[in-house]
Amino acid sequence: MPTEKARDGRGEMLDLYQHPGHLLRRAQQISVSIFYDEMGNELTPVQYAILSRLAEHPGIDQVSLAGLAAIDTSTGATVCARLEEKGLLERKVIPHNRRQRALSITAAGKALLDGLVPGAQRLRQRLLEPLSADEQRVFMGLLAKLVHENNEQSRAPLALPAAVDNAGA
């Protein structure tokens, strides 16, 4: 079996299976697989993120919504167009800024999200199931810290509006 180790700065071998980046990538693969098991195929994980953020921020513009979902603006625009085609959101030109679109979730979009709540709860349970209740709290705290402290390193950092950002402070 070929070795899965690379050399570190001191010439020592690094175990791929102990590398945080590799483990995070694998965790993402597992999360997406369980997402489709529990949530079905109507939405992708990114579409779900966009639609759930929109439900909490009706009338938001596409750029700000992409920031709330921590995805790049071009992906956000494409996802919003797909969700609009599905009849799950509406985009309207903002009169004072004709280059931006104000978004709102449709009744069909709200009904779909409401119907996905049990699946989202099962998804969370399945992902965290291998951990005890105490381990789950510690893991989620550390994961949130890791993501928050490295936010600016992302190609699409989370960008909370001032009112939301200050509420969490």
Q: Residues 65, 53: contact at Cβ < 8 Å? A: yes
Residue 150 C-alpha from the chain's centroid:
15
The encoded tokens of residue 31 equal: 């999360």
Q: How many CB atoms lie within 10 A of CB 121?
A: 11
Query: What pLDDT shows up at residue 17?
Result: 85
pLDDT, one tens digit per residue, over 19-70 is: 899 999 999 999 999 999 999 999 999 999 999 999 999 999 999 999 999 9
**Domain 18-159's class?**
mainly alpha
Among 147, 143, 166, 146, residue whose Cα is nearest residue 158: 147
The encoded tokens of residue 163 equal: 């009112």
15 or 98, which is more confident: 15
Matching residue, tokens 């994961």: 143
Query: What pLDDT shows up at residue 14?
Result: 76
- Facing residues of 15 across strands? 5
Query: What pLDDT shows up at residue 44?
Result: 97
- Facing residues of 61 across strands? 102
CA distances from 29 to 32, 36, 96, 157 (A): 5, 11, 42, 21
Query: How many residues are present in the chain?
Result: 169
Domain ranges of the chain: 18-159
